[in-house]
Amino acid sequence: MRTTRSTTRKSPVTALLTALATLLGIIVLGAVGPATAHAQSAGELATGLHISDGRLLEGNGNDFIMRGVNHAHTWYPGETQSLADIKALGANTVRVVLSDGHRWSENSPADVAAVVAQCKANRLICVLEVHDTTGYGEDAAAGTLDHAADYWIGLKDVLAGEENYVIINIGNEPWGNTNPEGWTAPTIAAVQKLRNAGFEHTIMVDAPNWGQDWQGVMRANAQSVYDADLTGNLIFSIHMYSVYNTAQKVTDYLHAFVDAGLPILIGEFGGPADQYGDPDEDTMMATAEQLRLGYLAWSWSGNTDPILDLAIDFDPSRLSSWGQRIFNGVNGIAQTSREATVYGGGNPGDTQAPSTAGTPTASAVAATSVTLTWTAATDNVGVTGYDIVRVSGGSETTVAASTTNTATVTGLTADTTYTFAVYARDAAGNRSARSATVSVTTDKGGSTPGAGCSVGYRVVGEWPDGFQGEITIRNTGATTINGWTLAFAFANGQTVTNMWGGSPTQNGGTVSVAPASYTSIIPAAGTVTVGFTAAKGSSNAAPTAFTLSGTNCTTA
């Protein structure tokens, strides 16, 4: 759920959360067969972006997989640079928050036209959503899907002809936890209202239960909703937060739609833990990549709960640990995003995979990292990047990505043997055969010595028996820090309960933090951020001293 500049999340009662796995396991989609064929699957209505055989395609038939983020435009209309910044970090899509005037100030046709123009100028696919519907039926301030549909009809002159570039997300999280079965009929009615008004765009519909569908209403009724749109140009959006705190919950939900031939994406998701649980964002991103589904992370900046800010204060040079995970982590945007071919990205006629890259060689082997280099692959059009995988028996895990023929793999364990290989990929998404492997044993030594550091510590939010903290580590030395251990002590019995950007070990008041894979490297003058929640008593004094790999840090 998202309210005004807020990331407050509605949580169902604990007993119902406990029953979620059972619910997701036993609720079946309304039909057991693949999605009913519509005219569009035969291509008659393939105007711009469209659905065919459960996939989102461009007008030319090229598969399009959304990789992007949400941006709170309606609350921050002056942050127009954000779209260019989001694109510069590799995204191919942005979901833009708008208001139909029911709850917040209405975004005018001129404003929406400007947003679409900015998306196009920055070569982004634009998902436009009305946020006023959030939590209808439970939140008395929420608007209806019917009112949102009328708003879209009022924008028809702005949106007509933009089917290659714009997806219409009728209403954000359009039902709360109260009687969520009421979601189905208004959703069908809103879709049909837009179709009767002549809209040919891909329409996106959000789930009830504040978008998380933990009671399975969208999952059970998806087929009937899809069948009600005679164009077949409809995609479902699930929002994944703390309800989806295990791999099984994530994979069960997404596979149910894919197995039924119904189109779906993760329209919002978070990774940092909150008081309701710890979302399994790694599985969300990995499964989306495996199933070739879109994902849109929440959110670029401006949250009142800043743990979900991807960029601090709308500054793309100050990515949070959550932002680093989304843009630069495994299965992240930099590694998996492909620009829409309508902007010239990719090559839909290219079906030839690159040649196999050379066998990697290892250098700069440290306790927690290793640098790999290989002979570059070739391609008939051009190699755009490489995926580096760790091989273990018959399985493999992607551990890094690179646009050149070298990469540093971080987050390793000391005195441990690893096996790595490389895949090459091109702009059309073709991937080479796997290279030969190289085995590397990391050093026995401890963490990389500190090269000068400063640490900033702050309490982001506090409640009677707990708080949320943030630690920013700055490398004040002249060389890159590659692998580190941060140590500090609490004086008032505080206990870390969850952490993102690092892995904590606590003994009494003493805390030791090892980096996540995406925070392990700190370039000279660079920073990384670790966030956490913790339990506390009546006092909550900040730690007074920090060491990084044994080196004393100054405090900022």
Query: Which amino acids are annotated catalytic?
Result: 173, 268
- For every residue of 323-368, DSSP letters joined together read HHHHHHSTT-HHHH----GGGT-S-TT--PPPPPPPPPEEES--SS
Is residue 387 within 8 Å of residue 435, measured between CB atoms? Answer: no
- Give the 3-state secondary structure of 15-73: HHHHCHHHHHHHCCCCCCCCCCCCHHHHCCCCCCCEEECCEEECCCCCECCCEEEEECC
Is residue 289 within 8 Å of residue 71, measured between CB atoms? Answer: no
φ, ψ of residue 342 in degrees (nearest 5): -65, -20
Instruction: Say how far apart CA 545 and CA 233 lie, in whole Å.
Output: 58
Q: Reduced to 3 states, what is the DSSP secondary structure of residue 420? A: strand
Find, among 501, 500, 531, the residue nearest to 519 by Cα: 501
Name residue, tokens 């301030």: 141
Instruction: Say how far apart CA 16 and CA 481 lie, in whole Å.
Output: 45
Is residue 119 within 8 Å of residue 83, measured between CB atoms? Answer: yes
Name residue, tokens 């925070």: 519
Instruction: Say how far apart CA 402 and CA 422 lie, in whole Å.
Output: 10
Beta pairing, strands 383-392 & 510-515: unpaired
Instruction: Say how far apart CA 487 and CA 354 lie, in whole Å.
Output: 45
At position 348, the amino acid (one-letter code) is P
Distances (CA, A) of 147 to 10, 115, 162, 173, 528: 23, 21, 22, 14, 44
Q: What is the DSSP letter of 107?
A: P
Is residue 229 within 8 Å of residue 192, measured between CB atoms? Answer: yes
φ, ψ of residue 306 in degrees (nearest 5): -70, 0
3-state helix, strand, coil in the chain (%, to 5): 20, 30, 50
